[in-house]
Structure 1
Amino acid sequence: MAESIPLARYAEFASYVEDRGPALLRMAISVAGNREDAEDLLQTALVKTFFAWDRISSPRARDGYVRRAMTNTQISEWRRRRLEIYPTAEIPEQLTEDPTWHSDLADAVERAVAKLPPRQQATLRLRYYEDRTEAEVARMLGVSVGTVKSTVARAVAKLRKDTELAAEPDLGR
């Protein structure tokens, strides 16, 4: 036979949740890390607290009981998630990018830019290395914006033909 829960118990618990709910939600957010998970965590903790409501002797101990229920629930969830990762004797092969490729590419680009005529070098360095606008580059070099555009286009065309830059990186694929 199911135990009959007195109506006063519901009213007292509902009043407690209404009064302390926002503070308890803030605590849950600090434990869970985001609002959605915190709301679920708080709901679970409040259910556990409701079933223990008669055993909580002091009204001042209620917040502590709810906080402890949230902490224990969160720890249980972490343990459950940890079990989703299964140890294995064989490590699966993973494709990884060779980190030295980036520095090798930077060196190759620097060598290719150094082969360009001085005006193209200056235009490319100002436009792309220093991230200047075409108008700024034109002002700095004392030329028109159209000259900057055409100089950049010619320089990029030469870089595209550079055999040192044409090689694709080998990513282990």
Structure 2
Amino acid sequence: MGAEADPLPPSCTEDVHVLVVDDCPIDRKIVEKLLLKNGTFKVTAVDSGIKALEVLGLNEKVESPSVNEFKIDMILTDYCMPQMNGYDLLKVVKDDNCLKSIPVVLMSSENDPQRISRCLDTGAEDFILKPLHPGDIQRMRSYTRPFTPTSKTGTKRKVPLDIMPESNESERHPRLAGVTVA
């Protein structure tokens, strides 16, 4: 057929909204493409920790009520950046009551064990060495908060009492292979 289907509206998807923070435009684009290629991520990319704070609603002009108005599910930040490095961004996020539950993953091309330990001790979910690989992206998916299931085929749902049958005649018994239910 050749024509692509229109994407579902954001309200119908369960994409993980990732805030990518990296001062290098090439690295930022590579990470963005890896995340989007996976198909379960929505990406907002910025080039500094200061801009990340603006997206998160943590600049001086904005007060707490609008914190995380973009509904960021995860932050993926480079460690080495001017003005505010990834560790400083991590500290600000983890010190804020409204944002501290957001998983923060740091990335760097430098394999510095002390730096990695300090970030993990401060609350980072992970520290990934650049360049990122598809396996790193898959692992990141597990760091996000679990989604509340929406009505999908095969999921358990609570049935309101007013639509439950009053008699036991329509009661169903589970069928398990080789098991008799008394």
User: If the TM-score is normalised by the length of the shorter chain, which range does it land in?
Assistant: under 0.3
TM-score norm. by structure 1 comes to 0.18
TM-score norm. by structure 2 comes to 0.18
Considering fraction of residues, name the structure with more helix.
1
